[in-house]
Amino acid sequence: MAPPDPGAPRSIPADTPRALIIDGRPVAGAAGPFEVTNPADDSVLASVAEADPAQGLAALDAAVRAQDAWRRTAARERAELLRAAFEEVTPPRRGLRPAHDPGDGQAAGREPRR
């Protein structure tokens, strides 16, 4: 499989949630949808839910309720949950590799200096 073209237009996957998530449940935005645009060409990337002030407070209340349970969760489990969330929102980067290895200061794929 060829690496992605960095100059190709980007899009948001169709299955990306567009609703608010409050207390672990998807909720329609009471303030209506708003459009997210590509700053390079002003094309519309997606229409997503916008919270009103009451929904903002509801989300804050839900976070406060969840705080004690999160605090009691073992650090290793929290790290695994955060890593899983990161993997869900980060697209795969097949075919890409770092231009240099910060460990030895050499370009990737080159033998270290001796």
Above 60 in pLDDT, residue 101? no
Give the model's pLDDT for residue 8: 59
Amino acid identity, position 21: I
Give the model's pLDDT for residue 55: 96
102-113 pLDDT per residue, tens:
555 555 555 655
For the purposes of burial, counting CB atoms within 10 Å of the CB of 26, is it exposed (0-12), middle (13-18) or buried (19 or more)?
Answer: exposed
Among candidate residues 13, 50, 16, 45, the one with its CA nearest the CA of residue 31: 50
Which residue, chain included where needed, has tokens 């998807």?
Answer: 26
Alpha carbon 18 to its chain's center: 13
The answer to whether 78 and 66 have CB atoms below 8 angstroms apart is no
The answer to whether 30 and 8 have CB atoms below 8 angstroms apart is no
21-68 pLDDT per residue, tens:
999 899 999 998 989 888 888 888 888 999 999 999 999 999 999 999
Q: How far apart are CA 67 and CA 61, in angstroms?
A: 10
